[in-house]
A and B are shown apart, each in its own frame.
Chain A
Amino acid sequence: MNKPLRRVAIFCGLLVFALLLRDNWLQFVRADELNAHPKNTRVRIERYANERGNIIVDGKPITGSVDSGGNYYKYKRTYVNGPMWAPVTGYASQVYDANQIEKIEDGILTGNDDRLFFDRTLAMFTGDKKKGGDVVTTLSGAAQKAAYEGLGKNTGAVVAIEPSTGKVLALASTPSYDPASIAGSNDEKAWVALNGAKNKPMQNRALREIYPPGSVFKVVTAAAALESGKVTDINAATETPEGWKIPLSRVPMKNHSGGCANASLNEALRVSCNSVFAKLGDDVGRDKMVEMAEKFGFNAEQFTPVRSAASVYDKQADRGGNALSSIGQFNTATTPLQMAMVTAAIANDGKLMKPYMIDKLVAPNLDVIKQNDPEEMSRPVSPENAQKLQQMMENVVSKGTGAKADLNMDGVRVGGKTGTAQHGEKNAKRPYAWFISYAKTDQGSPVAVAVIVEDAEGTNREDISGGGLAAPIAKAVMKAVIKNRG
């Protein structure tokens, strides 16, 4: 009987071997995949097991952590002035994962990042509790407050950038939500309500929503006209007949104001002549227009590091479409961030800095783990042409539609452009009010702003205009930044 016994022994050995193999497959090969599986609550348990690091603005935390005493997730995220900062922080929920900075810098905030390995090891020996690092942002509390309060009950967004560095100073979106309301483990009601809400409070309009820019896009067309050499003297008359016909159609381009026939570039921007800019866009040609728009950042997602939607300038439009695109209609669509970038590049004498909102990452022991430095993204226009554009935009504020944005401060020049973008089928929907502007002193430009007001409650349709609704908000933000600087 010993021969079959030995064979059975080998069989039993094979059974154990199969188990060993399977275990290696499970715990070695598939370990990472299982560990990071979205259904694996360990990721979230770990995220909230220790006090989470904070997101810092102006040296003060805008987030916090409280011990919620739960069996699953120990600490719960809290927010200081949550609705105002939600477009910056995003949320960190015990149930619904996290987004934006809370998600992108999760490793630092929880303390699990590889760069914090040394701190963790040290804490193990000193017996300290594991702690998360902090994320220091570039934002300015005063500017954010001005933006958020300026938007008030309106639906809209504000983005402010420091043109010389690309630092994001304000990033507001309304209506907003309080991330604290969905941070806990029993917040299903709030979560469902927020996701189902008609006014989409969780939508980050500053980064993720693309709007037809309307007239504010004319700044880009002006830049293209100057760069391509179609216009050299901004005060020279252009050959544009009143009622210029859109190519490939018989429809004449309508202007909303008089005095556009053969108007100079400077004058056309001041009174916002559709015909002049449509014709210029047509003269420059689609490919050159696309090139200019893309140099400003169109047709690409931006990473601040929070991802923004890609703004659109149609690359396949026919001549008629291109002419309409040049005045910010047709398929042209942009995020508020994109328009702030355009403004910032012009204010910074033609140099576009990459926008970013995380200044540095700090370890629990206050060592700087990573410092983000300003980075040049592109040079869409030459310094000379940038100055011409500034001259024209300042004209808009001092003598044109953007008068409400003027700061009236000594030594501070303000340039801007209004936009009232019609949209919807037959332009039937309530138009968007746009305003872009920058402030400039002798030391350079401290701030560039883009404001959009989607829907102003209680405003007559006829009264919706960039200059009227959006310009005062831009003014408040610029004022806050300049005041804050001293």
Chain B
Amino acid sequence: MSVVTNTTTIGAIEAPSRRNTELALLAFAVAIPVFAYLNVGLAIDGKVPAGMAGYGLGLALLAGVAHLVVRKWAPYSDPLLLPLATLLNGMGLVLIWRLDQSPRLIATSMRLYKSFSPDAPSQMMYSAVGIAMFVGVLLLLKDHRVLQRYTYISMVVSLVLLLLPLVPGLGADVFGAKIWIRVGGFSIQPGEFAKLVLAVFFSGYLMVKRDALALASRRFMGLYLPRGRDLGPILTIWAVSLLILVFENDLGTSLLFFGMFVIMLYVATERTSWIVMGLLMAVAGAAVVGSTASHVKSRVAAWLDPFGCLETATDQNMLNACDQMTQVLMSFGSGGILGTGLGQGNSDLISFAANSDFIFATVGEELGLAGVMVFLLLYGLIVERGIRTALAARDPFGKLLAMGLSGAFALQIFVVAGGVMGLIPLTGMTMPFLAYGGSSVIANWALIGILIRISDTARRPAPAPAPSPDAEMTQVVRP
């Protein structure tokens, strides 16, 4: 980097730790959701919500604990990541709480399950577990390079995690997508955790194999083609992601993993040919599966012409997909530029998964174009801080890991937000931190924890060079 910034390690002798900046930003990250909470209460009931103090204190407590842990155990880490994640998590809680109070969603739940339980308290609990995970990562992982030792174990773990939903009796089919498992009353989305573990595996693997992949290759039509034996693992990953697509019926998850792998491969080898190959393979895979798997097909139909397919839908599944898509689009459209205001929209017309897969539509309707752009930029900032951490990291493993995690995060944002806004076909993933769901919150807090750990290592001032024995003997003669 030509410009010396706070994240570069070179040049700054006494790099400021920026912990006070983080604290100030955290104050905002807590205050804004509390204000939003008040806003929802006033809009729906016309009075200050009773739970406001509890909510504010809870969020402040979680943020405070996270901050103190960072101050003590990762003092040089990036000051933006924690406040950004806290703000998103806090706003997510407010949005979920807002949807909990929708009489329509309550009525729908009563009709379908004969009971209704608010999701906000559970999400608050998941957030606490998420912060605990974050603290745990910082306490236990003193140096991220330790993870390098677990490269192949990570591979096995990630494959197991990815394939768990396919195990009969464990996996759960939720409206066509099989990306959930049920254990003792809890639904877990293993894909969210697999994202982290896979990044560790890719980093460790590529760090070792990058030279072989980059240099031992033949030139063909301007592209460097790798040797067959180096190609093996890549084809394996491609096959696995296709398997996910076919058997778990989820376009998003497979796109996420394959995309993450291609990005990391490109960063590790600096060969553009990988991107070309990756794109070709992804397109080929998606085209084949997209035209055969019925679940994916209905999602694609809903994406191409949501309103038209309400009439032309061939089965109930496709009709549901199209109906959801039209409701989501109309929700965004009804928000307009400034939105209806929190608590005053009708995004609860999306009666299915309003507070998880489609929570972004509530942002769109109630906070409008302005609000959605703010949220997208917040996510963009997290990605940017993550990539900056990768740039600043001193070791290739840290670089790859930070890049892999930020790249996966960026892809997930794109796949989910693009899906609900109709830019690409909808997939079964959720907005990190915003959407209701324990797996997602916990896994993403762990992701932020790892990024903070890498950035702390990257920004930590280099140890003072050992005093040279010559120095003492040198005499400076002044005239």
Contact = CB atoms under 8 A, between A and B. Distances in A.
Contacts of B263: 8, 11
B334 A39 contact: no
A423 to B, nearest CB: 39
A26 B329 contact: yes
A136 to B, nearest CB: 32
A85 to B, nearest CB: 32
A2 interface: yes
Interface residues of A, number: 37
Contacts of B406: 12
B369 A12 contact: no
A71 B110 CA distance: 13
Interface in A4-35: 4-9, 11-13, 15-16, 18-20, 22-24, 26-28, 30-35
14 contacts: A1-B399, A4-B266, A5-B403, A8-B266, A15-B411, A19-B423, A22-B418, A23-B421, A24-B369, A27-B332, A27-B337, A34-B333, A35-B330, A37-B333
Contact of A35 (B334, B349, B379): B334
Given A18-B418, A34-B333, A39-B330, A27 B387 contact: no
A40 interface: yes
Given A18-B423, A31-B333, A41 B326 contact: no
Given A5-B399, A34-B332, A42-B334, A12 B346 contact: no
A58 B333 CA distance: 42
A42 B346 contact: yes
Contacts of B60: none
B173 interface: no
Given A19-B414, A20-B376, A27-B364, A8 B407 contact: yes
Interface string B345-386: 010010000000000000010001100110011011001100
Nearest to B381: A16
A482 interface: no
A402 B256 CA distance: 85
Interface of B: 1, 103-104, 107, 263, 266-268, 270, 307, 310, 326, 329-330, 332-337, 346, 349, 364, 368-369, 372-373, 376-377, 379-380, 383-384, 387, 390-391, 396, 399-400, 403, 406-407, 410-411, 413-414, 417-418, 421-423
B268 A1 contact: yes
Contacts of A37: 307, 330, 333
Contact of A15 (B270, B326, B369, B410): B410
Contacts of B346: 41-42, 45
Given A3-B270, A20-B376, A42 B330 contact: yes
Contact of B376 (A1, A19, A26, A42): A19
B446 to A, nearest CB: 20
B369 A28 contact: yes
Nearest to A18: B423
Nearest to A34: B333
Contacts of A4: 266-267, 270
Contacts of A72: 104
Contact of B418 (A5, A19, A24): A19
Contacts of A13: 380, 384
B228 to A, nearest CB: 24
A2 B334 contact: no
A8 B334 contact: no
Contact of B421 (A8, A19, A41, A42): A19
Given A15-B414, A16-B383, A39-B330, A26 B307 contact: no
B49 to A, nearest CB: 19
A2 B266 CA distance: 11
A1 B396 contact: yes
* Residue in A18, A23, A34 whose Cβ sees the most chain B Cβ within 10 Å: A23
A18 B414 contact: yes
